């Protein structure tokens, strides 16, 4: 997986995706419960190519590194990487990378009618952004996965 930086501003860095090599990593076939521990099954180790698992449409996929905390209640934190697919249709409640009046942002999309909608933060410290026909609004893609560091 080759990643090339395409764009950077104060809140978003955008990277291109180019699948030139496979990177197969070890993968345990058994499911690991996050509730109560269970007896060990046969732990057969397979391989997993993250390109195949996370990227549906390679030619329309890019990565973006997020800064800020407006989406923390959606599990997207400062410094996280999102995988974005430009070929997917934005739907009500989709998490989008978009630009509004020349500024990139990552927000949840709420459709209201044909001429308006809202970009909704997932943090009560931030206000929704109203989208009208007067805004220069463009959807760059729908977020499909978030890569989040756990520690």
- Residue-wise pLDDT tens digits, 13-23: 666 666 665 55
* Pairing label, strands 61-66, 81-85: antiparallel
Beta-bridge partners for 79: none
pLDDT band at 59 (very low <50, low <70, confident <90, very high): confident
Q: Where are the domains of the chain?
A: 2-22+55-147
Token digits of residue 48: 């997993």
* 107 catalytically annotated: yes
Q: Which of 4, 59, 86, 107 is catalytic?
A: 107
Which overall architecture, per CATH, does domain 2-22+55-147 show?
Ribbon (2.10)
Range with lowest mean pLDDT among 45-54, 73-82, 115-124: 45-54
Tell me the average pLDDT across 23-34.
56
pLDDT at residue 57 in the model: 87
pLDDT at residue 92 in the model: 92
Give the pLDDT confidence of 95-135 residue by residue, as tens digits: 999 999 988 999 999 988 776 799 999 999 999 999 998 99
- For residue 86, which of 96, 77, 76 has the smallest C-alpha distance? 96
Token digits of residue 7: 């764009």
Percent of the chain topping pLDDT 70: 68
Q: Is the pTM of this model over 0.95?
A: no
Tell me the average pLDDT across 60-64.
87
Tell me the average pLDDT across 36-62.
71
Query: What span, in angstroms and rounded, lies between the C-alpha atoms of 77 and 116?
Result: 27
Q: What is the largest CA-CA distance in the chain?
A: 59
* 60 catalytically annotated: no
Query: What span, in angstroms and rounded, lies between the C-alpha atoms of 111 and 30?
Result: 40
Range with lowest mean pLDDT among 11-20, 39-48, 69-78, 100-109: 39-48
Q: Which of 31, 59, 70, 86 is catalytic?
A: 70
Kindly write down the DSSP assignment for every residue of the chain, as one continuous string: -EEEEEEE-SSEEEEEEE--S--EEEEESS---SSS--------EEEEEHHHHH-S-GGGEEEEEE-SSTTGGGT--TT-EEEEETTSPP-TT-EEEEEETTEEEEEEEEE-SSS-EEEE-SSTTS--EEE-TTS-EEEEEEEEEEE----
């Amino acid at each position: 997986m080759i990643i090339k930086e395409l764009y950077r501003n104060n809140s978003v860095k955008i990277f291109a995706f180019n699948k030139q090599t496979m990177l197969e990593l070890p993968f345990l076939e058994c499911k690991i419960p996050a509730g109560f521990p269970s007896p060990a099954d046969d732990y057969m180790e397979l391989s997993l190519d993250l390109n195949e698992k996370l990227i549906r449409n390679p030619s329309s996929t890019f990565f973006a590194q997020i800064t800020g905390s407006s989406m923390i209640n959606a599990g997207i934190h400062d410094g996280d990487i999102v995988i974005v697919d430009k070929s997917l249709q934005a739907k009500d409640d989709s998490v989008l990378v978009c630009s509004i009046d020349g500024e990139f942002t990552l927000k949840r999309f709420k459709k209201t009618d044909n001429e308006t909608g809202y970009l909704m933060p997932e943090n009560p410290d931030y206000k929704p952004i109203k989208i009208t026909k007067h805004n220069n609004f463009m959807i760059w893609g729908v977020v499909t996965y978030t890569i989040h560091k756990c520690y």
